[in-house]
């Protein structure tokens, strides 16, 4: 018996479970997963620090919800990882129809989210996932080195329709993420430069039409106007929010004032800080070192996504990773930029860090797509 155990050849799997090196369960990108978990944990700490001193509110209310959102998001991510990403190529049409119907209903009703008791679902966030898989599935059906003009028009319609409905809600921040995603995927797919110029022009035209046609409410319009005219006496409420965010970021110094020791963050002096300006909370409490560490986590995640795009077994996986890469890069840049006052305030949250259920679930699902590509790269 002892002799047979000593002579036994090692299994290819774990313990007595034999599995191929190509088995998806053995090919999870744990570095990307670790970055995601770290960002989510940091986000919970930021949400708590920015909301614990709210008037007549349980100090643990928002952070408790964020933890629940994160748990639900983890379940969604596992479900997405279990399915081969080819599944979404086969089912993108009903998903897109359902998304457009929900967005059109909200525009007609004058809302931006569906409320189911304590649960609030924002289709503009879900649109990031659905529009990405729809565009990638549409482009990959054409087997060529560059995107033809008819295929480009079809992709423009797939992304443009939900984008217009999101602008009409109005939600300019989410609309810009979809546009950035479309440009990233089209560039990787081999779209000609004039196509990218066309989509950029149409994007600006759509946003301009939204302003001229009064589709954008006064609150969002004022937040954009602050970027160009912060001395306007009629915009001082919005100026107050932005200036305090810059002050919080700047007064943190090299190492910050310490956890829960930031007077602006913990004093509630920046409205909606837990959603719009979490980077300012990091800067005031943990300083330049904390901000650099946070951005480094995003950089590592971006590098891993880029690597997975190169390792993908097919173009569909490459396109999906390119879309997630572009959305993550743009959303982080926009959120940090508006905190530093180098970009207009659009209310675009920071992935994994800002408070919000729809946002964190969508980003977990997007990272689940990337993991699905990596897990099946050797098949």
User: Is there a contact between 208 and 195 (Cβ–Cβ < 8 Å)?
Assistant: no
Same domain, 192 and 100: yes
Average pLDDT over every residue of 219-243: 68
Same domain, 91 and 211: yes
Q: What is the DSSP letter of 348?
A: P
Same domain, 208 and 109: yes
Q: Which of 36-45, 89-98, 185-194 has the lowest mean pLDDT?
A: 185-194
Average pLDDT over every residue of 40-68: 87
What range does the domain containing 78 cover?
Answer: 28-82+236-259+267-356+373-377
Query: Could you count the other beta carbons within 10 Å of the beta carbon of residue 81?
Result: 22
Average pLDDT over every residue of 144-150: 74
Same domain, 106 and 212: yes
The rounded Cα 86 to chain-centroid distance in angstroms is 22
Better pLDDT: 23 or 9: 23
When pLDDT is cut at 50, 70 and 90, the band that residue 12 belongs to is very low
What are the percentages of helix, strand and coil residues in the chain, rounded to 5? 70, 0, 25
Bridge partners of 114, per DSSP, are: 121
Report the distance separating Cα 257 and Cα 254, nearest Å.
Answer: 9
User: Is there a contact between 236 and 265 (Cβ–Cβ < 8 Å)?
Assistant: no
The answer to whether position 227 is within a domain reads no
Using DSSP, state whether 44 is helix, strand or coil: helix
Q: Which of 93-107, 185-199, 244-258 has the lowest mean pLDDT?
A: 185-199
Average pLDDT over every residue of 94-118: 89
When pLDDT is cut at 50, 70 and 90, the band that residue 10 belongs to is very low
Same domain, 209 and 104: yes
Average pLDDT over every residue of 104-108: 91
Burial class (CB in 10 A: 0-12, 13-18, 19+), 8: exposed
User: Is there a contact between 289 and 255 (Cβ–Cβ < 8 Å)?
Assistant: yes
Give the model's pLDDT for residue 2: 42
Report the distance separating Cα 268 and Cα 265, nearest Å.
Answer: 6
Share of the chain above pLDDT 70, in %: 84
């Amino acid at each position: 018996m002892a002799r047979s155990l000593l002579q036994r050849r090692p299994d290819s799997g774990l313990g007595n479970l034999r599995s191929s090196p190509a088995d998806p369960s053995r090919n999870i990108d744990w570095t990307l997963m670790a970055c995601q978990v770290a960002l989510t944990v940091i986000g919970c700490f930021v949400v708590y620090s920015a909301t614990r001193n709210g008037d007549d509110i349980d100090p643990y209310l928002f952070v408790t919800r964020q933890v629940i959102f994160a748990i639900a998001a983890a379940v969604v991510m596992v479900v997405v990882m279990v399915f081969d990403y080819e599944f979404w190529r086969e089912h993108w049409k009903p998903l897109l129809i359902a998304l457009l119907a929900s967005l059109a209903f909200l525009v007609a009703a004058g809302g931006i989210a569906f409320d189911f008791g304590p649960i609030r679902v924002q289709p503009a966030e879900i649109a990031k996932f659905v529009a990405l898989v729809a565009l990638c599935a549409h482009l990959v059906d054409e087997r060529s080195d560059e995107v033809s003009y008819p295929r480009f028009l079809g992709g423009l319609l797939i992304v443009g329709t939900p984008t217009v409905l999101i602008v009409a809600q109005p939600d300019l921040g989410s609309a810009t993420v979809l546009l950035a995603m479309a440009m990233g995927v089209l560039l990787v797919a081999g779209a000609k430069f004039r196509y990218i110029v066309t989509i950029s022009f149409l994007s600006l035209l759509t946003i301009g039409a939204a302003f001229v046609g009064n589709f954008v409410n006064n609150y969002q319009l004022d937040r954009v106007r602050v970027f160009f005219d912060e001395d306007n006496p009629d915009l001082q409420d919005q100026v107050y929010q932005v200036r305090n965010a810059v002050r919080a970021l700047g007064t943190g110094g090299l190492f910050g004032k310490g956890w829960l020791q930031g007077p602006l963050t913990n004093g509630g002096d920046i409205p909606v800080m837990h959603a719009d300006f979490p980077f300012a909370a990091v800067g005031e409490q943990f300083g330049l070192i904390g901000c650099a560490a946070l951005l480094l986590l995003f950089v590592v995640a971006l590098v891993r996504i880029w690597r997975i795009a190169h390792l993908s077994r097919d173009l569909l996986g490459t396109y999906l990773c390119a879309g997630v890469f572009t959305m993550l890069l743009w959303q982080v840049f926009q959120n940090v930029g508006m905190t530093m006052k180098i970009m207009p305030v659009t209310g675009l949250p920071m992935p994994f860090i800002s408070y919000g259920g729809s946002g964190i679930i969508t980003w977990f699902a997007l990272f689940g797509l990337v993991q699905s590509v990596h897990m099946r790269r050797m098949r």
